[in-house]
């Protein structure tokens, strides 16, 4: 018994065990109790702002926790839509390339919320997702985040992955806010290339 407690303590000291447990719980719950979704359907995960999520003033969720929640939302979306499974079958992976979050109103301590995720665009090597943090007490959109997911380890374009997952689907029109964000990232890349 003492050995198991020591192992658990070591794991909690050197690893963020709660992060891995939450991913397993989120994906497992989806597989057991939710149906597969189409690639343009929104997926939804739920959470509550706890004492582990709050910032220095002890009143609302800190900025880092919003980004952490996006990890869980993305894993859930990719698993329910089948996109990540297809990427992995081909020997690839996906990493977070960029994110942009607009905070509209703080998520207070003990506030239950949901995070919706939907695919809004893709390019040769990138998926673009939009996430909304919505408080369940008043159905208010507290934050909106855009995330750019970069596919790694594959020679085929993202459109081929999409066609395999959902044949015949067409790429949506590029919406204005995503277009501006993509242009901003391009400008940033050009600036950094000049410095290097």
Per-residue model confidence (pLDDT) at position 184: 95
In the chain, the percentage of residues whose pLDDT exceeds 70 is 99
pLDDT tens column, 99-115:
999 999 999 999 999 99
- Give SS3 for 83: helix
pLDDT higher than threshold 90 for residue 193: no
pLDDT higher than threshold 90 for residue 21: yes
Longest CA–CA span in the chain (Å) reads: 59
pLDDT higher than threshold 90 for residue 195: no
Least Cα distance to 112 among 145, 131, 134 occurs for: 134
Cα gap 3→26, rounded to integer Å: 29
pLDDT higher than threshold 90 for residue 2: no
What's the CATH number where 108 sits?
3.10.129.10
Domain holding 25, by residue range, is 2-195
Query: Region 12-36: what's the mean pLDDT?
Result: 94
Which secondary-structure segment (H or E) carries 8? helix 2-14
| Cβ-proximal residues to 129 (8 Å cutoff; 6+ apart), any chain | 74, 77, 117, 118, 119, 120, 146, 147, 149
Query: Region 35-47: what's the mean pLDDT?
Result: 97
Per-residue model confidence (pLDDT) at position 120: 98
Number of domains into which the chain is organized: 1
pLDDT tens column, 127-148:
999 999 999 999 999 999 999 9
């Amino acid at each position: 018994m003492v050995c198991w407690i020591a192992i658990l303590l070591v794991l909690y000291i050197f690893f963020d065990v709660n992060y891995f447990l939450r991913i397993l719980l989120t994906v497992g719950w989806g597989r057991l109790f939710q149906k597969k979704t189409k690639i343009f359907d929104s997926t939804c995960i739920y959470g509550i702002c706890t004492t582990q999520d709050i910032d220095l003033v002890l009143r609302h969720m800190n900025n880092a926790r919003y980004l952490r929640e996006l990890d869980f939302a993305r894993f859930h979306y990719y698993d329910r839509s089948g996109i990540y499974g297809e990427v992995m079958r081909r020997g690839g992976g996906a990493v977070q390339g960029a994110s942009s979050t607009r905070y509209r109103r703080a998520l207070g301590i003990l506030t239950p919320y949901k995070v919706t995720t939907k695919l809004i665009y893709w390019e040769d090597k990138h998926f673009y997702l939009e996430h909304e943090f919505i408080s369940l007490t008043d159905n208010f959109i507290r934050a909106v985040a855009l995330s750019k997911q970069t596919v790694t380890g594959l020679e085929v374009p993202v459109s081929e992955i999409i066609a395999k997952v959902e044949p015949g689907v067409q790429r949506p029109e590029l919406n204005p806010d995503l277009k501006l964000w993509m242009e901003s990232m391009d400008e940033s890349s050009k600036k950094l290339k000049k410095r290097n």
